[in-house]
Structure 1
Amino acid sequence: MADPDPLRVVHSPVIAPPRPIPEDDNPYKPEIIPVTSQNSLEPGVLRVAIHEGLGLSVPQSEAALEHGNGPSSITSQSEGGLISPLSDHDGLPYATLELDGFEISVSATSGTRENPVWSTKLGNRIHEKKFDIFRAAELTVRLYAKNPDHREGSQDALFLGCAKMNPVFGDEVQTEWLPLKNGTGKLHVEVEYVKMKTLRIETKRSGTVGQSRLGSVARFRNSGSSSCYAAIHIQKADLSPRCDVMQVLLLPVNNGPFIAPLNFIAQTRSHFCLFWLFVSGGHLFYHLQRAQRFHSDRARLYAAETLVALERLDEVDPSYHELRPKNILLDSVGHVVICDLGLLHLEMKNVESTSDSAGVDYLAPELLAGNASAPTDATASKWWTLGAFLFEMLTGLPPFYDEDVEQRCRNILSEPLVVSGLLPASAQDLLNKLLTRKPEDRLGFNGASEIKAHRYFDGLDWDKVAWREYEPEFKPHELAMRFVQEGKRETIESVIASFSGFSWGTPTPVQKDPAVPAAVESHPVANEKTEDWELVWQRQDQSFYFYNRSTKTKKPIVAARPYLLKRPDKTQEALGAVLKNKYMHLVPRMLEEYSVNLNFELDFRQTSPLNYVTELQEVDIVRLFLANGADANLEPGSTLGGRPLLSAVQKGNQELVQMLVQRTDRIPCTRALGHAVSKQDTAIINILLANGVMCDFEEADRPKPAGNWNCNGDFDDMNATMGDASEPEEYMPPLVKAIGLGDADLVRLLLAHGANVNVGYHDSSILLPGGILYRLGHTYMECGRPIQLAMELGHEDLVRLLLENGADISLPQPVWRHHVCKMIPREVHHQLTARLRTIAASIA
């Protein structure tokens, strides 16, 4: 096999002469420690700009793809994937630039799909991208285009080909026309290498992304180039006297395929700062959790790339046997990347080794039993781990799984392996041979070539695998998510207890804003009667006022909020005053004598007249307003609309619900059904369902959150705050709310009226006494499907009911393009998956 490392192994590395220790101790401005080696460069920045493409081949329809014509594709949603970062100009291609593991996307801005333009001028700095440079590396450009025939479950982005360039890293600007491989056409690319003026690097921290025995791993961005790193700061005093931290830069593992290299080391007065490229695609096993399981072709490529990485590790570090799910990530293209601080072998003072139950699932039996003694045992144990990973990718659970960790260990040591007969025969055979207990009988004992030759990998070109030339079908969006193995949470009982002493029915007193005047300057008089008040139009000054027949007193009508941009007219202002003072006897005559547009915002309260009288349960006035053109779907200041029906449901007024449901649009009707379910108001639920209210929302119904993908590639997720414009609790499927309440009768009722038993949900909340929605820590299934929530909440009766009504436990997790679902702790995910499968098997 050809050498998979384009940089080759570093020969005769030399640490540059020691530099004075910096006096500054600012962790965000460490000083880079230079290294001299065969392929090292002075630290610098490579500026890259794509100018244009010529003669690209872009499929015009999906029909060509179905018949095997056209470029390869990426499926971004069919297995619970995330949305690919497409161009703002959706019809134009976009490119990903990769250099030494760093990846940046750049979209075409003009031209056509066949001849796109990124930058019209050579030397134009506006569209250039910058890469930090510490050693010579090859530049790879990959091109993609949005699939014009995309629909859920189909191909989202089309791979158009790739081009490679070897930068000179000299003083000259380098421009080349690069031919596309696996596609047609060429790209005009310009690069320029600029040496750093100073070795001090300025960084910005953007959150913790992991934890290791050496400390927290944080995400940093270089202010000068926008390159993103994962970094750990180690106190110099904590290092063992025998440990030379600079030697880790020279380890051969830094040049291994599919292994994240340590890019550079910097220092402050008291710390060493180790920087790796930030692997942006998230954890492989997070994506497995989202998909439930991978189909054989997808799992095959991940297993092949992991095998190549383990083969390299076996060459340069034979004793390494600690690969865990948390160490396997995906880059932005979708290739496997192994990230493990254990590969550095840093010796620390007073740092105890740690372990977790996750290690048991993938630990070879000879290591679990403590019988390994020779390096060959460690080598063979790697192939057991590979087999365990492949088993979980294909089935969704580790081999020998049991909720009890001790029983799991006994299973690994003595129980027979059970492989699903639904898997391809080649996969079954490979798993049985990799998960053989005797190391000497295990496939791979005589070398990785044994595994590569297995028929499961037939058709793979191992040189292409090592050179990352296969285009993964799944392309992840940029993620900065912590890997979560075990879960700790509050119980529902503890949550309720935390609210003890709170009066559920007592509203919180609201302080009146002294800056806002009353809508009517009222001077109460003894023995005043509401029905004695009249509304009078004063022609002289063109205004309304109130007049009391009994007391002969007048009250002018004063605007409560004169600063409103859209001011009510005189009649609307008068109607607002009538409603505020609850002079309801004046409403019919006012509507009869004056032409009042009822669709406006009251100036004393941010709501409509219709919703206001609905809250007061003034049934006759509601009926009158509807007869005079009040729109039940317009609600000032609300992103939701349809507030009157929601108010009627909250009040439990069946007559108003019956009246308003016929005038309210689909989306607020389904929201109202959700409110009724939360109140467990069966009578109102039946009224809504009898009027044809839908039990489910459509995917596009929920508004986009206020957050966006920010400059760090993170999503500013505001879903946990009251300021979330998408109002997740309003768009929670009613069926999910019924399951959260554990109400089997409501679940049956909703299913009988067409509720989707497999509906997806996001940002779940649970209803506590008094209608309080609790969303912090009550459940790990904040996103998922009804049957998963029922299982986590322990409602086995509901699980069986859902299964009887067609629930599918094998579906991938739901996707909402404006939201990134959190990782469920793997311990919890495995438990829920195993329990659901057990119950489903008992029913079948």
Structure 2
Amino acid sequence: MEAVAEVLHPRCPSRRYSSIYKFTLFFLCLVVNFDHFQILRAIGKGSFGKVCIVQKRDTEKMYAMKYMNKQQCIERDEVRNVFRELEILQEIEHVFLVNLWYSFQDEEDMFMVVDLLLGGDLRYHLQQNVQFTEETVRLYICEMALALDYLRSQHIIHRDVKPDNILLDEQGHAHLTDFNIATIIRDGERATALAGTKPYMAPEIFHSFLNGGTGYSFEVDWWSLGIMAYELLRGWRPYDIHSNNPVESLVQLFSTVSVQYSSTWSKEMVALLRKLLTVNPEHRFSCLADIQTSAYLSGVVWSDVGEKRVEPGFVPNKGRLHCDPTFELEEMILESRPLHKKKKRLAKNKSRDNSKDSSQSENDYLQECLEAIQQDFVIFNREK
């Protein structure tokens, strides 16, 4: 590094400037941007952005890149959620989470580069009519129990545990993703916001929204885990709840409707699901220690689960990409600002911006918001 500084700055008047240059060069080596990745194909989209497979040019490692258009985030009032997700992901890492590796931005988008999991999400496999066995679902429960227990240790409620947000790796192990509505609560605090996907939301979330009271805590994620496990086993959810159901009707539903369990399921599995789907959160299984008391899981070697040494019952077909192929067509044909044309587009925009008076901005508020994002966005490199 010393030799490089001397070659590039032969007239450097002092060692102080040489040190500053070395620090700047070191910092630039840590900063990752869009040009460091090759875009391979689009694989998904959600309410907060789109996802594509990328390869880092220097290491040739493969990742998933989630990108969110800044202007759309401003228009939909989603910037705060994106920043909160980044704040959370930059502080956590776990074997059963989809972990963040890099975050960066350009003029148009905010980017998150995360673990690439090629086994597809559980919603996709449900739609493909995969018949999940008890043994398979049992392992998912164990792996998610470890993930949720870790999140609790970090004071995080995920608030959106559902098949759509569980990705499988190529061996079939489950990983929790999507922290865009997660929240952090410290000791003694309670969450109160109506947040989540209604069919998977715990009763106390609706009660809190409707009647006030003490709010809710980590127990809500374990209810969602129970709903998801039931759905994987049976093909439908235990309660007939949809996004347009009024909150009042849902509060009444939980007090009048009882869950029906299949007679083909083992008594031990039913007992475990009952404990996860207990309406009263004080009596619900809601931590790893609770789960470990289940007779159904008495033979589980938890250290083996945590090291991925337990072989999953369902292994995705390695010969295919487990996502909707229309995502790629939409990105290439229908998308107005496709990612693969970003470099040319930004160069053209820069030329256009330089040719017009910036004081003649048509939307001062939008420009102000974009500048705030540019200033407040936190870049991240897990390798540093």
For normalisation by structure 1, the TM-score amounts to 0.30
Map of 2:180 onto structure 1: 342
Superposition deviation, residue 366 in structure 1: 0.9
In the alignment, residue 406 of structure 1 is paired with which amino acid?
A: N
Structure with the larger helix share: 2
Distance in 1, matches of 2:237 and 2:160, equals: 16
Q: 2:51 aligns with which of 217, 221, 233?
A: 217
Q: Specify the SS of the correspondent of 2:142.
A: helix
Q: Does 1:232 align with 2:66?
A: yes
Distance in 2, matches of 1:256 and 1:227, equals: 19
Contact 2:198–2:242, Cα closer than 8 Å, also in 1? no
In the alignment, residue 66 of structure 2 is paired with which amino acid?
A: I
Q: Does 1:411 align with 2:253?
A: yes
In the alignment, residue 315 of structure 2 is paired with which amino acid?
A: K
Output aligned runs, 1:387-536, within 5 Å.
387-401=226-240, 406=245, 409=250, 410-444=252-286, 447-476=287-316, 477=318, 478-482=320-324
Map of 2:36 onto structure 1: 201
Distance in 2, matches of 1:20 and 1:270, equals: 26
Distance in 2, matches of 1:416 and 1:483, equals: 39
Contact 1:257–1:466, Cα closer than 8 Å, also in 2? yes
Distance in 2, matches of 1:335 and 1:210, equals: 22
Change (3 A) 1:374 1:324: farther
Distance in 2, matches of 1:305 and 1:429, equals: 19
Distance in 2, matches of 1:443 and 1:248, equals: 25
Q: Does 1:298 align with 2:136?
A: yes
Superposition deviation, residue 290 in structure 1: 3.2
Q: Can you give the 5+ residue segments of structure 1 that lack an aligned partner in the other structure?
A: 1-16, 23-30, 35-197, 347-352, 485-713, 716-844
Q: 1:386 aligns with which of 225, 228, 239?
A: 225
1:694-713 deviation line (CA, Å, top 9, x unaligned):
xxxxxxxxxxxxxxxxxxxx
Structure with the larger strand share: 1
Contact 1:235–1:271, Cα closer than 8 Å, also in 2? yes
Superposition deviation, residue 473 in structure 1: 2.8
In the alignment, residue 31 of structure 2 is paired with which amino acid?
A: I
Change (3 A) 1:435 1:362: same
1:749-772 deviation line (CA, Å, top 9, x unaligned):
xxxxxxxxxxxxxxxxxxxxxxxx
Distance in 2, matches of 1:313 and 1:223, equals: 32
Change (3 A) 1:329 1:316: same
In the alignment, residue 210 of structure 1 is paired with which amino acid?
A: K
Superposition deviation, residue 245 in structure 1: 9.0
Superposition deviation, residue 474 in structure 1: 2.3
Superposition deviation, residue 412 in structure 1: 3.6
1:189-208 deviation line (CA, Å, top 9, x unaligned):
xxxxxxxxx99513224124
Change (3 A) 1:257 1:413: farther
Superposition deviation, residue 298 in structure 1: 1.2
Output aligned runs, 1:364-379, within 5 Å.
364-370=202-208, 377-379=216-218
Q: Specify the SS of the correspondent of 1:432.
A: helix
Superposition deviation, residue 303 in structure 1: 1.1
Superposition deviation, residue 345 in structure 1: 6.7
Distance in 2, matches of 1:208 and 1:430, equals: 35
Superposition deviation, residue 334 in structure 1: 0.7
Q: Specify the SS of the correspondent of 1:406.
A: coil
Superposition deviation, residue 246 in structure 1: 7.4
1:399-446 deviation line (CA, Å, top 9, x unaligned):
1236796398353443111112221000111112211111112123xx
Change (3 A) 1:360 1:293: farther
Q: Specify the SS of the correspondent of 1:370.
A: helix
Output aligned runs, 1:223-302, within 5 Å.
223-234=57-68, 239=79, 250-251=90-91, 253=92, 255-268=93-106, 271-302=109-140
Output aligned runs, 1:142-181, within 5 Å.
none
Change (3 A) 1:354 1:227: farther
Contact 2:134–2:233, Cα closer than 8 Å, also in 1? yes
Distance in 1, matches of 2:86 and 2:160, equals: 23
Change (3 A) 1:354 1:439: closer
Superposition deviation, residue 480 in structure 1: 4.8
Q: Specify the SS of the correspondent of 2:310.
A: coil
1:39-66 deviation line (CA, Å, top 9, x unaligned):
xxxxxxxxxxxxxxxxxxxxxxxxxxxx
Q: Specify the SS of the correspondent of 2:180.
A: helix
Q: Specify the SS of the correspondent of 2:245.
A: helix
Distance in 2, matches of 1:317 and 1:233, equals: 26
Q: Specify the SS of the correspondent of 1:307.
A: helix
Contact 1:32–1:264, Cα closer than 8 Å, also in 2? no
Contact 2:261–2:270, Cα closer than 8 Å, also in 1? yes
Change (3 A) 1:321 1:416: same
Superposition deviation, residue 283 in structure 1: 0.9
Higher-RCO chain (CA-CA 8 Å, sequence separation at least 6): 2
Contact 1:433–1:443, Cα closer than 8 Å, also in 2? yes
In the alignment, residue 458 of structure 1 is paired with which amino acid?
A: S
In the alignment, residue 221 of structure 1 is paired with which amino acid?
A: Q
Change (3 A) 1:247 1:395: closer
Distance in 1, matches of 2:244 and 2:105, equals: 42
Q: Specify the SS of the correspondent of 2:45.
A: strand
Distance in 2, matches of 1:386 and 1:246, equals: 24
Q: Specify the SS of the correspondent of 2:97.
A: coil
Distance in 1, matches of 2:292 and 2:107, equals: 48
RMSD, matched Cα: 4.0
Distance in 2, matches of 1:276 and 1:412, equals: 37
Distance in 2, matches of 1:233 and 1:292, equals: 30
Distance in 1, matches of 2:26 and 2:105, equals: 11
Distance in 1, matches of 2:160 and 2:124, equals: 19
Larger-gyration structure (1/2)? 1
Superposition deviation, residue 223 in structure 1: 4.1
For normalisation by structure 2, the TM-score amounts to 0.63
Superposition deviation, residue 262 in structure 1: 0.4
Distance in 1, matches of 2:94 and 2:68, equals: 24
Contact 1:230–1:275, Cα closer than 8 Å, also in 2? yes
In the alignment, residue 295 of structure 1 is paired with which amino acid?
A: T
Distance in 2, matches of 1:261 and 1:313, equals: 13
